[in-house]
Structure 1
Amino acid sequence: MAIDGIITDPNLATVLGASHDTRRQALILVDQIAATGPIDKASVDVQLEISKQQKLLITNLAQLRGLHRAAHIGARQTKHETADARQEVDRLHLQLQNLYYEQRHLQGEIAACESYKLVSAITSDSTAQAEMSSDIPTPGEFKYDLTANQLARELIEIKISHTYQQLPLIPVEEFLALNPDHTNDDENALMIARIEHERSEREALEQKRMELLKRKQKLIADNKKRKDDLANLDKELEKFIDAAKPIQKLFEKNVPAV
């Protein structure tokens, strides 16, 4: 495929047209010089014509340079716009992934709530059936009651296996003793309050741990500095002792032993 069919941008098409015109003008000038021979031996009219063609070629070259510069600037600007658009697409894609994650999380919460309601209903039904069948314990009814209990236990295990049920919270009695204002709360509100209490306690412990860690690092730095000071002092003492040895020998020579 020819390059004219590939390029569709109007600005690049203008550059390509100017390039063709410049090439054509250069070929005309070359052919004219080749047909004329040495320029210094040509007539005045021929030299004027060649000079005219040279001026046209220089004009076309100047125009081509300007168009090429403009096309280069436009291509660079297009690259920047493409990079900005790519970043925007990446940002939107990340936001979409976050929404998918939040959707899955909410679906899990909804499933947990539905399973909790189902457990409560089945447990109530199984309890009522057990009370009704206690007077006439036939084998068939006993088997049906056992199956309902098994199903209820399985659903209770599903409920207990939920993430928030596995948190190491303090017992309800201890929590109510610390926070008596939650005594009349229902099960959901009480669980939320216990989780919030656990979060605040952990944040306080984490803050205390960070403070102790900073204090430990400061003590380690102080101890290291003191060790360095003691090491420097030992070196200075050794230098002082070495410097005092000649004086000590001199005293030993001049002072008679008692």
Structure 2
Amino acid sequence: MTSDNLITEPALLSVLQAAAQARQQSLAILDLLEQYHARDTETTPESLLDDQLALSKQQKTLNTHLAKVRGLNRKAVLSVRATKQETAEARQEIDSLHLSLQNLYYEQRHLRGEIGGCDGYDHRYRQLPMVSEEEYLSRHPDQVDATEHDLTIARIEDERLARQELEVQRLELVKRKEALAKETLAKKEELGRLDTAMEKWLGGQDAVRKLFEAREESVAGIPQPQTV
């Protein structure tokens, strides 16, 4: 593969074309000089003047080609510099995009790890003794089309309301228990007072009984009068 096949840039191709023309012109001048030297012995003043004119014409043509080559070369050099600048800017942009892509990749991997951790996390709501999904839907048929996330939130809320109601009932039972305990204590105290009063009353009855028994004994010891 030749250099002509490798180079496809129009500006560089124009430089190569102008350089080829200048080369051909230089070769033509060299051929012309060889012809002059070959017939140097037969040169007349008239022919020498014609040869000088022809050589001057060829040199002017060569200078034209060389000027064109210089101009195109300068233009190509400036184009190459601009291309290098554009390439450097494009490379910086690509590097920046690559860095952003790497950051996105790391962030994606981090988020996937977080999502995996959340999926595998044993959340406390899974330990709640909630009613089954079938039972909940049987009581709330309007939520049959709800998503799993919304359905779980609704079941947790239903469980919260049920527990609040049970807590209210528990507090009411506690109040009733305390009231019954106070009432029982009051009755126990009242029974204690009655027991004390009864014991006192029974103690009094025992003293009266003993008094009557003593009197009966004393009466029984007096001799009875005899009849004639």
Query: What are the ranges of 5 or more consecutive residues in structure 1 without an aligned counterpart?
Result: 126-258
Alignment correspondent of 1:43? 48
Q: Which has the higher contact order (CA 8 A, sep 6+)?
A: 2
Q: Pick one of 91, 94, 100 that aligns with 1:89.
A: 94
Looking at structure 1, the residues matched to 119 and 94 of structure 2 have their Cα atoms a distance apart, in angstroms, of 37
Q: Pick one of 81, 89, 93 that aligns with 1:76.
A: 81
* 1:101-144 superposed Cα distances (whole Å, 9 cap, x missing partner): 1112222222222223x44366447xxxxxxxxxxxxxxxxxxx
Looking at structure 1, the residues matched to 117 and 128 of structure 2 have their Cα atoms a distance apart, in angstroms, of 18
Alignment correspondent of 1:19? 19
> What is the identity, as a one-letter code, of the residue corresponding to 2:90?
A
Shift of the alpha carbon at 1:2? Answer: 2.1
Q: Pick one of 86, 109, 120 that aligns with 2:124.
A: 120
Alignment correspondent of 2:58? 53
**Aligned in 2, Cα 1:21/1:40: closer, same or farther, shift over 3 Å?**
farther
Secondary structure in structure 2 of the residue aligned to 1:43: helix
Looking at structure 2, the residues matched to 94 and 51 of structure 1 have their Cα atoms a distance apart, in angstroms, of 63
> What is the identity, as a one-letter code, of the residue corresponding to 2:21?
D
Looking at structure 2, the residues matched to 40 and 65 of structure 1 have their Cα atoms a distance apart, in angstroms, of 38
Alignment correspondent of 2:107? 102
**Aligned in 2, Cα 1:60/1:54: closer, same or farther, shift over 3 Å?**
same
Looking at structure 2, the residues matched to 2 and 21 of structure 1 have their Cα atoms a distance apart, in angstroms, of 18
> What is the identity, as a one-letter code, of the residue corresponding to 1:30?
L
Secondary structure in structure 1 of the residue aligned to 2:8: coil
Looking at structure 2, the residues matched to 91 and 21 of structure 1 have their Cα atoms a distance apart, in angstroms, of 45
* 1:206-252 superposed Cα distances (whole Å, 9 cap, x missing partner): xxxxxxxxxxxxxxxxxxxxxxxxxxxxxxxxxxxxxxxxxxxxxxx
**Aligned in 2, Cα 1:67/1:40: closer, same or farther, shift over 3 Å?**
farther
Looking at structure 1, the residues matched to 36 and 69 of structure 2 have their Cα atoms a distance apart, in angstroms, of 28
**Aligned in 2, Cα 1:81/1:35: closer, same or farther, shift over 3 Å?**
same
Looking at structure 2, the residues matched to 6 and 110 of structure 1 have their Cα atoms a distance apart, in angstroms, of 53
Looking at structure 1, the residues matched to 44 and 128 of structure 2 have their Cα atoms a distance apart, in angstroms, of 118
How many residues are paired up?
Answer: 126
Looking at structure 2, the residues matched to 115 and 40 of structure 1 have their Cα atoms a distance apart, in angstroms, of 109
Q: TM-score, normalised by structure 1?
A: 0.45
> What is the identity, as a one-letter code, of the residue corresponding to 1:18?
A
Shift of the alpha carbon at 1:26? Answer: 0.4
Shift of the alpha carbon at 1:9? Answer: 1.1
* 1:179-207 superposed Cα distances (whole Å, 9 cap, x missing partner): xxxxxxxxxxxxxxxxxxxxxxxxxxxxx
Identity of aligned residues (%): 48
**Aligned in 2, Cα 1:124/1:11: closer, same or farther, shift over 3 Å?**
same
Looking at structure 2, the residues matched to 2 and 104 of structure 1 have their Cα atoms a distance apart, in angstroms, of 50
RMSD over equivalenced CA pairs, Å:
2.5
Decide which structure has the larger Cα Rg and report it: 2
Q: TM-score, normalised by structure 2?
A: 0.50
> What is the identity, as a one-letter code, of the residue corresponding to 2:71?
G
Looking at structure 1, the residues matched to 57 and 90 of structure 2 have their Cα atoms a distance apart, in angstroms, of 49
Alignment correspondent of 1:8? 8
Query: What are the ranges of 5 or more consecutive residues in structure 2 without an aligned counterpart?
Result: 130-228
